[in-house]
Amino acid sequence: PAKLVDCRSDDVERSELFIVEGDSALGTARLARSSDFQALLPIRGKILNVQKASVSDMLRNAECTAIIQVLGAGSGRSFDLEAARYGKIVLMTDADVDGAHIRTLLLTLFYRYMKPLVEAGRVFAAVPPLHRIEVIGAGRRKN
């Protein structure tokens, strides 16, 4: 897919794919990543709820097909864990209700159509920070 920012490494054990929520997060993630082994794939908004959708609907969904294509291991019964291009898949969503929903939808996609990745412990959910503390004066804190 055109939006994939790939890594330079071909070493599956070392390479990581970060699926990020939106183009704005892509910019920040691009600055913070190690391009040697960390790839980025932005997704737009909420993906299809594959728990309720048919296989044909899932395959017509641009975000779902982009994820399947980038991983390079197929989906469903034809999924081949050995063919996966990345050793770790990290889901990076916002620290809000929509981000939690998107993370759940992504996990459902992986569980239903790429279950061996989940069973092998290769799918991770990043935990976004919720708060920041700034010191604004001698002994004072601002939350």
CA distance 40 to 42: 7
Q: How far is CA 104 from CA 19, 30, 49, 107, in A?
A: 13, 24, 9, 5
Catalytic residue among 36, 80, 96, 119: 96
Q: Which of 6, 21, 57, 119 is catalytic?
A: 21
The residue annotated as part of the active site, out of 11, 57, 80, 98, is 98
| First-last CA distance in the chain | 40
Quick check: 50 and 75 in contact, CB under 8 A? no
96 is catalytic: yes
| Catalytic (active site) residue 11 | no
Query: Which of 10, 94, 119, 134 does the annotation list as catalytic?
Result: 94
The separation between CA 15 and the C-alpha centre of its own chain, rounded to angstroms, equals: 13
**Quick one: residue 48, left, alpha or beta (phi over 0 = left, psi -120 to 50 = alpha)?**
beta
Catalytic site positions: 21, 94, 96, 98
